[in-house]
Amino acid sequence: MHRVFRFDSYKDFLFDLVSGERGYRGLRTELAKAMGCQAAYLTQVLKAKADLTEVHGLRLAKYLKFSRMEAEYFLLLIREAKASSPDLKNYLKEDRERLRGEAQDLKHRSDSKTIAENETFITRYFVDWVPSTLHVATSSENYQTVKALAQRFNLPTERVAAELDWLEEQGLVQKIGSQRWRFSGTSIHLPSASPLDFIHQISRRCQAIESIQRKKHRSDI
């Protein structure tokens, strides 16, 4: 389930997005540009001195590539924050909680899918070490660009870009702007009884050996 559903305030979501490990320099400016406002205005919003409009919210949802359900939830957060009466605020809150419950239910259904139902995905993700390694690496802000990942794992940039595009299609990473991919929070685990587990472990070990050999070669030069 997308992390936007974890928040009861759109301003808390925005602050979490632009600060700490999740943010990076220049993100605030990128978000403001996507929404059609000045970075200074977004700063005022984050300081609780201004509010986003629903137009801003919709543009941001498109920029962050929210699903329809995620976008609706985010817009409800904006409406609730600006509600002019307690009754309206409670009504919008109930609608938002209902939507969050539906999203949670969908996540549970997705998590319950069997290996057989996802055979094509599971095979591509686990047979080679690259997709799973790039997926996990994007949880670090140091490895969220094609260049950084290619250098870290000694891979062609074209391969990294293609894998990131595929991971994005699967909902495993989220593209932020034009150059960054961030871990979406979804983890994939292969049952130990699966025949692919052995292949995956061998692939990881080969990759580790190659990495050690590269480091040794550089130290000998």
Q: Are 47 and 30 in contact (CB under 8 A)?
A: no
Task: For residue 197, give the amino acid letter.
Answer: D
Per-residue pLDDT of 1-45, as tens digits, reads 468 898 999 999 998 888 854 556 688 889 999 999 999 999 999
Instruction: Tell me how far CA of residue 29 lies from CA of 24, 40, 44, 189, 221, in angstroms.
Output: 10, 9, 13, 36, 43
Q: Which residues of 65-76 are buried (b: 16+ CB within 10 A; e: fewer)?
A: ebeebbbbbbbb
Residues 198 and 92: their CA atoms lie apart, in Å, by 50
The predicted-structure confidence for 174-203, as pLDDT tens digits, reads as follows 988 888 999 887 767 655 555 445 444 555
Mean pLDDT of the chain: 80
Q: Residue 109: what pLDDT?
A: 52
Give the residue, 100 or 197, on which the prediction is more confident: 100
HSE at residue 168, side-chain half, CA atoms within 13 A, is: 18
Which of residues 221 and 186 earns the better pLDDT score? Answer: 186
| Neighbour count for residue 181 (Cβ, 10 Å) | 27
**Using one digit for the tens of pLDDT, what is the confidence trace for 50-71?**
999 999 999 999 999 998 889 9
Comparing 56 with 126, the larger pLDDT belongs to 56
Give the per-residue pLDDT at 203.
Answer: 53
Regarding predicted confidence, which is higher, 198 or 103?
103
pLDDT at residue 116 is higher than 50: no
| Residue 84 pLDDT grade (very low, low, confident, very high; cuts 50, 70, 90) | very high
Residues near 21 by beta carbon (within 8 Å), at least 6 away in sequence: 141
3-state secondary structure 89-103: HHHHHHHHHHHHHHH
What pLDDT is recorded for position 115?
Answer: 41
